[in-house]
Amino acid sequence: MTRFFPRNSAFLCSILSFVLGTAAFTPALHAQNEDEKIDLSQFPGLIVDSVVVPIPSEILEVLDKLGSPNWGRELREVGGVNSPDRTRVALLLGTVVAEGFVAVQAQNRDRIEDTGKEVLRLSESLGIKKYVVQHAQSILDAAKANDWDGVRRELDNTERTVRDTMEKMRDAELSQCVSLGGWLRGTEVLTSVVTKDYNADRAELLNQPDLVKHFQKQIDAMRSKKQLKSISSGLSKIAKAMGKGDKPVAEKQVKRINDITAELVKEIVTK
């Protein structure tokens, strides 16, 4: 059975317009309330090479049903990173969109506004600003109105537009980097939340070794794979920590995955 985050984090993210298909789903998770079940089959997966790719908004939505994390504590500042490297900019854009989903969970209007502005700036660096301007403005308008569902929808739409536009411009590698950046930031936040209040149900969300292998395969096929060497190495370590995906990830390994993803995200976002 393929293990996956339910169908975008960041987490993340989200985060992803690929070919829709049919896949096996993990069993329903039991929430802290024994009478409440979270049926993961209600989250249609996005399939790439028979692997379900997560969308950050729905990762966070499921986690929210498993408890009441302090999302504000998981937020980090966005913006201020300038780079001529388009691969890094795409990774960074993915982390920013994932951050937006965390800000929605925290209902932090200021951070949402920062996210919208940063999405525009990074999109301009990638030459696709005109395609996301409307989404960015809708994010800002929804945040000002405290319309959190509206913000979530526009973040999903923003990422989808970014990736679709890149694919049409034959920048499929950059599109994949946006997805990868969002997944890394989303997994960092997810593991942070799980570590703070570990239980087997939450750890079950990390059973996704096939997804990690998918990202590794994508990196190996990229022209820019040398630039992604540290991320590829980090993914290998994450896959080892996840194990075979046949049981919940142990608490010690959740912390290990958090350390790895935090270091990789730091590498992406550091000025």
- Residue ranges per domain, the chain? 29-269
pLDDT at 53: 54
User: How would DSSP label each residue in 169-212?
Assistant: TT-HHHHHHHHHHHHHHHHHHHHHHHHHT--HHHHHTT--HHHH
Query: Can you give the pTM of this predicted structure?
Result: 0.79
b/e burial code for range 220-236 (CB count within 10 A of at least 16 → b): eebeeeeebeebbebbe
User: Does residue 253 carry a pLDDT above 60?
Assistant: yes
The CA distance from 46 to 241, in Å, is 24
pLDDT at 116: 87
More confident call, 130 vs 205: 130
Burial class of residue 139, CB neighbours in 10 A (0-12, 13-18, 19+): buried
How high does pLDDT run on average in the chain? 77
63-67, 130-134, 138-142, 149-153: lowest mean pLDDT where?
63-67
Q: How far is CA 254 from CA 10, 84, 85, 237, in A?
A: 17, 34, 31, 12
Task: Please compute the mean of the pLDDT values over residues 244-258 and round it to a whole number.
Answer: 90
pLDDT at 225: 85
User: Does residue 95 carry a pLDDT above 50?
Assistant: yes
DSSP 82: -
